[in-house]
Structure 1
Amino acid sequence: MADDIKKNKAKIKNVAKKELQNQAVKRKIKVEKGGQKKIKVDTAKENKIRKVGVKKPVVNDSKKNETKKNQIKKRRFYDYSPIFIILFLLMLGLIMIYSASSYTADLKFKNSAYFVNKQLIFVGLGLILMIIVSIIPYQFWIKLSKPIYLVATGLVGAVLVIGRDANGARRWINLFGIKFQPSEFVKVAIIIFSSYYLVKYKNDLHSTDRKVAEKKLWILFGAVFVPTLLVMVENLSTSIIIFLIAFCMSFLGTSNKRLHTVGAIAMGVILFFSKPFVKFIYERGARDYHLTRLLVWAEPEKFSRDGGYQVIQGLYAIGSGSLFGKGLGQGMQKFFLPESQNDMIFAIIVEELGLFGAGLIMGAFVFLIYRMIKISFSVKDPEGVYLVVGIFIHLSLQVILNIAVVTGVLPNTGVSLPFISYGGTSILVLLGEMGIVLSVARSIKLDY
């Protein structure tokens, strides 16, 4: 009886064992000796991998994180908003040059579009120059800062020898039929040279020893003084801009502000006492081209034949503009205002487009300067920062001085309104500077 029970139990075990084996085969579970079960994932994909002999790589979590960090792509920052503002100002400038000069151009050259056609050529060349310069890394210009400075200084020195007279001043050089104004190149040369100098001697300029810092500042001022003096002989306004560019850049580039404080006080005193001083020396018999301009500023009605007439007509144009102006092309003062397409074009803008048009232009300049300031804050390389800072200082000074001259706040200095006034050399230099700003902006890298 007991043997039968044992045989039945053995049969039951064998049947159960076979059933388990069948289920294991169906579920692809390999049963090894000792009763240990090992799950074997035997998919078609795994079979293919085994046949080829490729092993799956084992990657640790730490390595996965590192690869993810390395895979983060970086893209270069390119600010398109300044380009749109520049194009807007250039187009507006072409329209206003035609409006201001068509009558004069028709009388002199029998072509009402004479001035705007010439300006259009320089605008096209300037835009090509801006694109080329924006592609070139800005460090290239820093490396050439000394040769650029020497060439610019040599050109303004050559003006005094082989230069051509224009409106009573010798400011132009004519080489192989190409006429240009070297003083415009000095502005950008000083910006590039100052950027190089302020970075190279950064430790000395921020030294706690005042003598060390002031020594480096005097060397910089001496280097700037040479081309400034050469330009001053025939172009006082541009020499003032050149000096102020270096003055402002060096102020930002040093921790020692004593020289700048003294200089700012001196400039304020000179400006305050300039009118009575000019009258005093004029009454003593002094006569000079620059002195005449200061006299016109002091008393434009009395010296109307010496340039006061232009200032008075400009003020008439501004006063008649009202809120929205007389309408594009409807202004009258351009028939009486000499060279209205040049330095005094802002007066024509106010007359024809009113305070609304003037505010629109001012807003465009403010936005352009704001974008340059944002770029300067985003750049890590100090040389790039100084380049952008120097360019927006130059642009700001030229806008402020031009409007101040037209409104009679400052003497007539012959400063053009950036991107708008007629002038080929000025347009080329300004668009070249904008190319440098875009080149610096391209060096900014963003993660995404």
Structure 2
Amino acid sequence: MSVTFGRTDTSVLGRWWWTVDRWTIAALLLLIAVGALLTMAASPAVAERIGAQSFHFVRRQFVFLAPAVILMLGISLLTPKQIRRTAVIGLLISLLLLALVPLLGAEVKGARRWLSLGGLSVQPSEFVKPFFTVVAGWMFASARLEPGFPGRIIATGLFGLTALLLLVQPDVGQTVILASIWAVQFFLAGLPLIWLAVLGMAAPVGAVVAYQFFPHVQSRVDRFLDPSAGDAYQVTTALSAFRNGGLFGRGPGEGKVKLVLPDAHTDFILAVGGEEFGLLLCLLVVALFAFIVLRGLSRLVKEDNLFVVLATAGLLVQFGMQAIINMASTLRLMPAKGMTLPFISYGGSSMLALALGMGMVLALTRTRYGREGLDA
């Protein structure tokens, strides 16, 4: 990035340039570039297999790339107070859309998760996560700083409502991420020991309940524990792709897994990258995710604004967990879960929602001074 702003520049863009974490921006842009590369590698074969034009998915994904980058950088210009206001409005809209999904949503693979709005398929669950994270962080912080304010109750109530709407779809994976965000924020805000014990017992109980009441969860767990118990074709094929790719890969366009893997452009896109570009590209992707999360957390070490700490930590937990779940599923380190790899997998809703969330991280971790500090 070239810069023309001097340190004495007091314009909005000038202050932004010298206060935002430019290393994180660079890492995010590199991650988006890798995603664009892998989309071009993986999606043409998938498009041809379903009878669409070769670059059908490529064109659709690239339509969202520029708006996602603009959204991320635009959100990063906001102050913490503006982030809170945006999150409240966004959460209300997202919850309304989530409530409409079971009634108006299209059913795909036994689940209703998408709404058709203006000719575009929107997945409200992707957008509810960053908005919930910021609002819950605000409530927990307010409860800690203002004795008597029922922030914990409000945050827990919002979590319960959002989790219920997600489970109706059903979407257990997104519910797990939401629960992790809520638990981490509650812990950082000063979780009482009794609550820590309750959550410790609730986690395994929730896993057993999900296994008993959601057939798709039971099927995936059974196949993970015993691959011969069901169809483990996608995971087995993905592992074979990594082995075939080796250290340097078979070369761009030379991969075979994308020709036979149904979700090569979404859930298993890392397998395509591993086969064509090798272990080195996979390690680069892992390093980028780790750098972004750790860099964001390091910016919080000297932060004295509890809301900023809780909201940013929650957003980074969401980002990191989503990446871990996708990669662990692809490598058969956990039961398969249909979840996009942030900024890499095909998906417009995922791309825009992640850009929104990471834009909030950039905004909240900016160095604040003067008026911006007072507006926190």
TM-score by structure 2 length?
A: 0.86
Displacement of 1:352 after TM fit?
Answer: 2.2
Displacement of 1:270 after TM fit?
Answer: 6.4
Greater RCO (Cα-Cα under 8 Å, separation 6 or more): 2
Secondary structure, aligned partner of 1:376: coil
1:240 pairs, out of 176, 179, 188, with 176
CA distance in 2, matches of 1:197, 1:170: 30
CA distance in 2, matches of 1:83, 1:104: 31
Does residue 422 of the first structure (1) align with residue 346 of the second (2)? yes
Amino acid at match of 1:359: L
Deviations 1:152-206 (A, max 9, x none): 22211110111111233210001221210000111012111112101210147xx
CA distance in 1, matches of 2:227, 2:189: 40
> Quick one: structure 1 residues 248 and 132, their matched pair in 2 at CA, closer, same or farther if it must change by over 3 Å?
same
Deviations 1:99-143 (A, max 9, x none): 112122234355322211111111111111112211222311313
Deviations 1:320-353 (A, max 9, x none): 3322222232221221211211011122222222
Contact 1:391 1:433 in 2 (8 A): yes
Amino acid at match of 1:239: T
Counterpart residue number, 1:180: 122
CA distance in 2, matches of 1:314, 1:257: 43
Structure 2, unmatched stretches of 5+, are 1-7, 371-376
Structure 1, unmatched stretches of 5+, are 1-70
RMSD of aligned residue pairs (Cα, Å): 2.8
Contact 1:399 1:418 in 2 (8 A): yes
What percentage of aligned pairs have identical amino acids? Answer: 28
CA distance in 2, matches of 1:109, 1:445: 56
CA distance in 2, matches of 1:333, 1:179: 27
1:117 pairs, out of 59, 62, 65, with 59
Secondary structure, aligned partner of 1:129: helix
Counterpart residue number, 1:392: 316
Secondary structure, aligned partner of 2:116: strand
1:252 pairs, out of 180, 183, 188, with 188
Does residue 223 of the first structure (1) align with residue 161 of the second (2)? no
> Quick one: structure 1 residues 158 and 87, their matched pair in 2 at CA, closer, same or farther if it must change by over 3 Å?
same
Does residue 343 of the first structure (1) align with residue 272 of the second (2)? no
> Quick one: structure 1 residues 290 and 200, their matched pair in 2 at CA, closer, same or farther if it must change by over 3 Å?
same
Which deviates more, 100-109 or 363-372?
Answer: 100-109
1:92 pairs, out of 11, 26, 34, with 34
Counterpart residue number, 2:225: 298
Which deviates more, 141-150 or 402-411?
Answer: 141-150
Amino acid at match of 1:225: G
CA distance in 2, matches of 1:359, 1:437: 24
CA distance in 1, matches of 2:142, 2:52: 55
Amino acid at match of 2:362: L
CA distance in 1, matches of 2:353, 2:145: 32
Q: How many residues align?
A: 356
Amino acid at match of 1:258: I
Displacement of 1:268 after TM fit?
Answer: 4.9
CA distance in 1, matches of 2:206, 2:314: 25
Displacement of 1:287 after TM fit?
Answer: 8.2
Secondary structure, aligned partner of 1:242: helix
CA distance in 1, matches of 2:171, 2:251: 35
Does residue 164 of the first structure (1) align with residue 100 of the second (2)? no
CA distance in 2, matches of 1:429, 1:193: 16
CA distance in 2, matches of 1:146, 1:118: 30
Secondary structure, aligned partner of 2:121: strand
Contact 1:331 1:351 in 2 (8 A): yes
